Structure 1
Amino acid sequence: MRVIIISESLIIRRGIVEIISCESCVASIKESHLYTDIYKDNYDLIIVDLNKNNKKYLYELEKVKNDCNSKIMVLDFYEDRTLFAKCMKIGIDGYILANIDSEDIGYAVKQLDKGKKYYDADLIENYISHGDTETISELTKREQEILICIAKGKTNIEISKELYITEHTVKKHTSNIFAKLNLKDRMQAALYAYDKGIVGF
């Protein structure tokens, strides 16, 4: 992977470089304090240090997600749950906090290289609100299958073809899943699946 690390802090940039430079999936690493540098090359992974003072760059990250295939991982040193929620809405691929171990940062990079997601488990738990009785066991086998498909980012049409059922049936099961687990949308359903270990990061 071609990686760029964006942070206004030289210490943060150098620290991340040192941590991930030993990963075999990382072919090259660039670092910069300018967020506009994400457009200078076609990077496979963009690691961005975001905080309350530079949230305006979320728009730029959303544009990158829409215009190219780059993976984006956000560094959050303030455990900003509002920022996390906004990042989820625009499809950020990874989200890590400052207290993460260096080994976990390397693991997160490898997961993104495999096409998977990596989000801080504590933030996921707080992002989704559900009671103790709302467990995966409440779902039927078919609903569990559809939940897994949703977590993998499949559309209703793709799910219908994979499970040999109509798109209408998929929509009906999806509504039941949302109701049983007290979830609002597909993003929350996907995060629920990851949080419960139904789908691995």
Structure 2
Amino acid sequence: MIGKLRKRIVLIEEDDRLREGLCFAIERTSNYFLVNSYKSYSEAIKLINRDGPDLVIVDITVSDMDGINGLRFLKNKYPADVVIFTNVEEASIINDALSQGVSGYILKNVPLTDFIRSIEQIINGGAVLSPSIAKIVLEFFHLNPYTPLSDRETDVLKLITRGKTYSEIAAELNIAIETSKTHIRNIYRKLKVNSKSEAVRKALNDKLVSVGVD
């Protein structure tokens, strides 16, 4: 694959051994180009514009900066997608991270091959939560009874939060791919968003779906 077409990734991970392992796994994947890896938020933020990543992978516990403030600085400095890769399962931190517009929150106990697949989903416009994280998120809220979406649109939005593609949504709901695209366009219009990741954030903030679990 031509280098300039490969998705650019920046990694922020304090643990040297894990960082090296993740770097190796990412570099072995032909779809991605690991632009840089850092041990701290401050190093990454300083060079983020030069790196120009499509996706930033970060452990929210990187110690040189409060995790949520670090996310905020990253998002304000450069508009890349961000995925949290961490061991933190504290509900308030999860909620704060999601409110910053991250596109994924994945626990480090996931197999590395599954993590790489999650990166693919996020880069393709999806959003991914580890199942246990989705359950924690649900404890924050009951569903909003005043949703602007139809029942079918809510079903589609739920599948979007699980990282499903147009064709996967169509297959799961037994509808045509074009119909799934129409539902998604209607969801974007009603929620006033422009992408799947924005729709997921809106779903979380407005309590529109049970995210990630049945």
Q: What amino acid sits opposite 2:30 in the alignment?
A: S
Cα RMSD over matched residues?
Answer: 3.7
| CA–CA separation in structure 1 for the residues paired with 2:57 and 2:98 | 15
Instruction: Give deviations 1:30-74, integer Å, cap 9, x for gaps.
Output: 211121233312211111122285661322312333453311111
Q: 1-side partners of 2:150 and 2:56: how far apart?
A: 37
Contact 2:157 2:209 in 1 (8 A): no
1:64 pairs, out of 66, 74, 86, with 74
Give the secondary structure class of the aligned counterpart of 2:139: coil
Structure 2 residue aligned with 1:97: 107
2:9 partner amino acid: V
The question of 1:142 aligning with 2:150 is answered: yes
Give deviations 1:132-158, integer Å, cap 9, x for gaps.
Answer: xx99xxx9x9233156459869xxxxx
The answer for the alignment partner of 2:36 in structure 1 is 30
TM-score, length basis structure 2: 0.63
Q: Which residue of 2 aligns with 1:51?
A: 61
**Counterpart pick for 1:73 among 69, 83, 87:** 83
Give the Cα separation in 2 of the matches to 1:108 and 1:85: 20
Distance 2:62 2:92 in 1: 10
User: In the alignment, does 2:88 pair up with 1:88?
Assistant: no
Distance 1:117-1:5 versus aligned 2 partners, 3 A rule: same
Query: Cα distance 1:52–1:109, how it changes in 2: closer, same or farther (>3 A)?
Result: closer
- Which residue number in structure 2 is paired with residue 180 of structure 1? none
Distance (Å, rounded) in 2 between the aligned partners of 1:54 and 1:115:
30
Q: Tell me what 1:19 maps to.
A: 25
> Gaps (5+ residues) in structure 1?
154-158, 171-184, 197-201
Q: Secondary structure at the match of 2:150?
A: helix
- TM-score, length-normalised on structure 1? 0.67
Give ranges in structure 2 of 5+ residues lacking alignment: 1-6, 162-181, 192-201
Identity within the alignment, %: 17
The 1:36/1:52 distance shift into structure 2, 3 A limit, reads closer
Distance in 2 (alpha carbons) for counterparts of 1:12 and 1:5 = 11
CA contact (8 A) 1:147 1:193 kept: no
**Equivalent position amino acid for 2:120 in 1:** K
Match for residue 174 of structure 2?
none
The AA in structure 2 aligned to 1:84 is I
Paired positions, count: 168
